Structure 1
Amino acid sequence: MIVTKLPWAGVKVEIGTTRIAIDPLYNFPPRYERSHEPLYPLDVFGKVDAVLITHHHPDHFDPEAIARFYGEEIPVYLPVESLKLIGDTPLKQLYGMELGQSIRIGSAKAIAVFAMDGFGDPQVSWVVEGGGKRLIHGGDTLWHGHWWNIKSVHGPFDIACMPVNAAIVEFRGNPPSGQPITLGPEQAVAAAYVLGAKTLLPIHYRTIHQPPLYCETPDLPERLHASAAERGIKLALLDTHDSLDLSGDAEAIEQVRQ
């Protein structure tokens, strides 16, 4: 298994000749003024066989980019409840997934598992396994009590891709709550620990920070390193285009630049 960091919350997973993109993003959501990191055409990262979407929010589901760079016929899997929320798209193969439902994509297996959305919208986390390795991608989940159940049924994991920016927003609800809508650094490490993950790959940070509309929590890298060291979790703070190669020894994780 090779895991490549895409911008924002996206990752690309390669298992043998099978390639899967999770939450790939190219078109920056118009609500925000600018991206704090470059967004690349999705084909820069190579072709994929399927796309997994954690939820329908525009910073996670970019149907125009998916159709443009992967083709309108690319299979796209997302929560079944999201199908009625996404409107018209150019995508021809959209499949709604129930919690616990699994699919085969080439040499990989993908399973939709529980996640908790910060706005009460439908969301899943994705478990992807193959080649003797397991990954979980948390989208922009909050903390919840299903981590232990997920580990019991699907874990332990080689790598957990978890949101870390503890975003506080002012565009949803009046008055605004002042509470994070995603995991923070310490919670992401705790989730990886409970899931039995060897490595935490932080996602969902850096790209968007526009106070007071959308505020990222401060001191992210320092807090991640401190919490991961305390819990004994390996931390992979990857830049876009960087990859983790888990295809060799289970304990040998190599960071490479594509």
Structure 2
Amino acid sequence: MKKSLTFSFAMLLGAAVLLSPVSNALEADMSSSIAYRSEDTQICYVSEIDEVISNTEIDKSVRQTVKERARTGSAFYSMTPESQEQVEQLFGVPFVENALLDTMEHSTAQKDQLNVFFNSSTKVMETEYTRYWLDGNVSISLCANTFYDVDGMCGSQKTYTKTFPKQNYSISKKLYTSRSGKCFEIYTVQDRAGCTTAQYTMFQHHATDYALYVCNENAQKSETAGIPNDYLLTLLDSFSFEN
């Protein structure tokens, strides 16, 4: 029996895409589903955690901070990282690279954030690293959940859910295979007027789960402007999974 962990997404509003047909032989590395309930619609992604990072890879300064926070009864702490490279060095995790995102400006409305979760034995269980970009009227976020070698973590499952009011939104799912050959299950959310207001996907690479969001900053305004239909696909095609 696999242990199940649950995480709820914050609602973000986003953009439309055109999806290319894919081979039936390909499957996304994270399964997902839509549950239509009486008052809302819930999207669920399930991650099979089969790879973790050793706590010995974590920098001594982080382990010391964890011990200090644990003495106060805390089970997590947050920080604002200076860069992706800093997080990689402190926590021994190689993140996926995206050449296109590297050219974009970071959002000033939301700061990048890292949450560190640890157990009573002062071992890091999971980190949650979220980065934000702004490209014109398009807001982008990439959340990376990385898992570590605590008892029961490897071989467990984690469930991610996102909920939308049924009276306001309709949701569809399509498969897309990027240039790297990786398959993604992409969700598009449209409002009652048929305008795409949210789109996202999740994927896994080594010990990290990634949630990618593309959001239309004007979605709440009457003069709503869409984004290019292939915007999310272009981002997915720009990821490198070689590390």
TM-score w.r.t. the length of structure 1 is: 0.26
TM-score w.r.t. the length of structure 2 is: 0.27
Q: Give 1 or 2: higher helix fraction.
A: 1
Q: Give 1 or 2: higher strand fraction.
A: 2
